[in-house]
Amino acid sequence: MSNVVEFRNFNLGFKDDEGKAYNLLNDVSFEIKEGVALGVVGESGCGKSMLSLSILRLLPEAAVVQSGDILYKGDSILDKSISQLEEIRGKHISMIFQEPMTALNPVYTIGFQIGEALKTHYPKLDKKKIKEAVIDQLNKVGIPNPEARFDQYPHQFSGGMRQRAMIAMAMICNPQLLIADEPTTALDVTIQAQVLELMKKIKLAGSLLLVTHNLGVVAELCNEVIVMYAGCIVEKGDIKKVFKNPMHPYTKGLIAAVPGVEVSEGDLYTIPGTVPTIDKFENGCRFAPRCEYMSENCKGYIPTMKKVSENHYVQCFLYDGKGDN
């Protein structure tokens, strides 16, 4: 099974107003395999969205790539020109953004915005063919009366329908990789369930990178999972192995914090402390200040990523006494 995208020791930082760079994504390495749905989970601010935006080089101006590489089918994305990137964006790699109301342009019709990707990547297609393809895509994502909806504007769509339109836009060129950044966050529970069912069907067509803080969504949709904390991957591997036998203290805490059916007041587990801001990251393990197993090693060194079983890796001194400065 070949890789669609591969991160190799990728480091990403952010500059402050004085030009000083602080590291966020630290030595990130993983692969997105063909036909696999990979989930990225972690608390808000852990770098999940920056990870996904790095693939398409849609990073904010203050972001700076410090070292490492990102490969698309073996070629460096970081070395590509803007025109080469534009050939990839939307056609080979597409993204569903967090908030469809801000991602969709209010002054253009839904049909125009979805069809724009086809116009860009297949300029020989005539207007009739584009309209037929867009209407077919709207129908596939479950939007009723797609012929009429084609000429409507985003404000005429409900929240759930806007999200479906975003999915249709991302899938119109049949990309090899679909990146979904918190695709159900702004939706109510009923619409979330409908969108998840739609995402299940979509993932069969290619690879999926699902960015979310919702472990239940990842369990529903993904084959593999990455657990992130403060810009570091602390655990990764097969979804069943990681969720059934979590190894890292942070992963254990995340799973323990998921409310059960019979949770009563005062029973809900919480991880002590808070996620540090980027300028307060520790030199060693970034989770150490919140970890009950913290040792002197944790304060000065970053543990190596250790293989604990087939397709299950953890970065913790509990399983590996070695580390790097």
| Three-state SS sequence of the chain | CCEEEEEEEEEEEEECCCCCEEEEEEEEEEEEECCCEEEEECCCCCCHHHHHHHHCCCCCCCEEEEEEEEEECCEECCCCCHHHHHHHECCCEEEECCCHHHHCCCCCCHHHHHHHHHHHHCCCCCHHHHHHHHHHHHHHCCCCCHHHHCCCCHHHCCHHHHHHHHHHHHHCCCCCEEEEECCCCCCCHHHHHHHHHHHHHHHHHCEEEEECCCHHHHHHHCCEEEEEECCEEEEEEEHHHHHHCCCCHHHHHHHHCCCCCCCCCCCCCCCCCCCCCHHHCCCCCCCHHHCCCCCHHHHHCEECEEEEECCEEEECCCCCCCEEC
For 260-285, what is each residue's pLDDT tens digit? 655 555 667 888 888 889 999 988 99
Boundary of a domain, candidates 125, 142, 174? 174
Question: 């307060």: which residue's tokens?
Answer: 280
Q: Report the C-alpha gap between 236 and 313 in whole angstroms.
A: 5
- Report how many domains make up the chain: 2
Residues 148 and 88 in one domain: no
In which band, very low, low, confident or very high, does the pLDDT at 182 lie, cut at 50, 70 and 90? confident
% residues pLDDT > 90 (the chain): 67
For 26-42, what is each residue's pLDDT tens digit? 999 999 999 999 999 99
Pair of tokens at residue 36:
């696999």
- Check residues 321 and 123 and name the one with the higher pLDDT: 123
Residues 235 and 270 in one domain: yes
Residues 62 and 180 in one domain: yes
Q: Report the C-alpha gap between 234 and 241 in whole angstroms.
A: 14
Do 215 and 39 touch, CB atoms closer than 8 A? Answer: no
Q: What is the pLDDT of residue 39?
A: 96
Residues 150 and 55 in one domain: no
Q: What is the mean pLDDT of the chain?
A: 90
Residues 160 and 188 in one domain: no
CA-wise closest residue to 202 among 222, 227, 187: 222
For 136-172, what is each residue's pLDDT tens digit? 999 988 899 999 999 999 999 988 899 889 999 999 9
Residue range(s) defining the domain that contains residue 319: 3-92+175-324
Q: Report the C-alpha gap between 102 and 105 in whole angstroms.
A: 7
Q: What is the pLDDT of residue 321?
A: 47
Residues 142 and 239 in one domain: no
Residues 203 and 285 in one domain: yes
Q: Among 51-55, 195-199, 261-265, whose mean pLDDT is lowest?
A: 261-265
State the average pLDDT over residues 175-201.
Answer: 81
| Stated length of the chain | 325
Residues 41 and 65 in one domain: yes
Q: What is the pLDDT of residue 291?
A: 93
Residues 234 and 294 in one domain: yes
Q: Report the C-alpha gap between 39 and 222 in whole angstroms.
A: 6
Q: Is the pLDDT score of 322 beyond 50? A: no
Pair of tokens at residue 55:
């693939």
Give the CATH number, domain containing residue 281: 3.40.50.300
Q: What is the pLDDT of residue 152?
A: 97
Boundary of a domain, candidates 120, 151, 174? 174
Residues 262 and 292 in one domain: yes
Residues 87 and 230 in one domain: yes
Q: Is the dihedral of CA 243, 53, 221, 178 positive or negative?
A: negative
Boundary of a domain, candidates 174, 206, 236? 174
